[in-house]
Amino acid sequence: MKFTDKIKSTDGTIIAYHKMGTGPSIVIVHGGMELGSSHLDLANTLSQKYTVYLYDRRDRGASVAIASSRYCMQEEISDLMAMIQLSQAKYIFAVSAGALITLQFLLTNFSVEKVMLYEPPLSINGSINFKYMRRFDKEIASQKILDAFITTMRGSKMAPSIMKMIPRFILRKGMKKMGEKDNHDIDALGKLIPTFKHDVQLAVETQDTLDSYKVIKTQTLLIGGGKSPKYLKTALHHLQETLPHASTVVLKKCDHIGSSNKQAGGNPDLVAQAIFMFLQPA
């Protein structure tokens, strides 16, 4: 699904979005190697009670940054601010790198009443090792996109156990066969893989910023997956201890893509239940 509704961010970047449902507004901020449509199943469920805004983050999908744009956290915050102003949303649901953007947004923007953060990859005292990105950068520069994807999955500890043991050349063959069966999905992924460097950049920019979040007064639900890597659980634990108005729910059946579409392996209905409970009137 390609988003066709568009607004301009502060620097002129075109941000594409899709609106669905009725009721109070929620903005969904997607994570790395994703698009707004990666959470369409979740949005469909939430739209039973809320107006949901899905948007493609800059340089992804139909959102196009201007030529002079310099990628950094502040630009992502400006894009989110544009979506909040458009939607008048009081709620944000944000995933992974999108959750890092939201945490930074909350430091200077106070209009949002409740946020739901799904596993922000906040590095605390070196809990995340970014060394694998050197190999990733070389593979992207050499147009070895499938290799870069394998490096990302292994380096970020998102790969299934079996993927860690299978030689790279076999994994490449398998992915190429998948591409032959579904060219659209593999082409879409191929375009998103290089953007992963931006999500890592956000994680690098925000490492060891935990104490700064003590000032955030917004009611926050921290959502984690029981099957997710240890460093993500570490981040949730420390954020729970730091944020003044935070609660945590761990969805035992989920991993880091728990909020993604069912076809991608997510469990959006389970995530939606947690969101509905958090947003229901006291």
Instruction: Give the pLDDT confidence of 14-46 residue by residue, as tens digits.
Output: 999 999 999 999 999 999 999 999 999 999 999
For helices 168-181 and 183-192, give the axis angle rounded to 10 degrees: 130
In this prediction, residue 179 has a pLDDT band, given cuts at 50, 70 and 90, of: low
Contact 228, 256 (CB under 8 A): yes
Q: How would you list the strands of the sheet with 14-20, edge to edge?
A: 5-8, 14-20, 51-55, 25-29, 91-95, 114-118, 219-225, 246-251
Query: pTM (2 decimals)?
Result: 0.95
What is residue 189's predicted lDDT score, i.e. its pLDDT? 79
Of 65-74, 98-107, 158-167, 233-242, least confident by mean pLDDT is: 158-167
Of 93-97, 136-140, 157-161, 198-202, least confident by mean pLDDT is: 157-161
d(CA 149, CA 168): 11
Give the phi and the psi of residue 26 in degrees, each rounded to 5. -125, 130
d(CA 34, CA 225): 18
In this prediction, residue 76 has a pLDDT band, given cuts at 50, 70 and 90, of: very high
**Averaged pLDDT for residues 202-213:** 97
Flag whether pLDDT at 3 surpasses 70: yes
**Averaged pLDDT for residues 164-190:** 69
Q: Which helix (H) or strand (E) holds 111?
A: none
Give the phi and the psi of residue 17 in degrees, each rounded to 5. -150, 170
d(CA 263, CA 31): 17
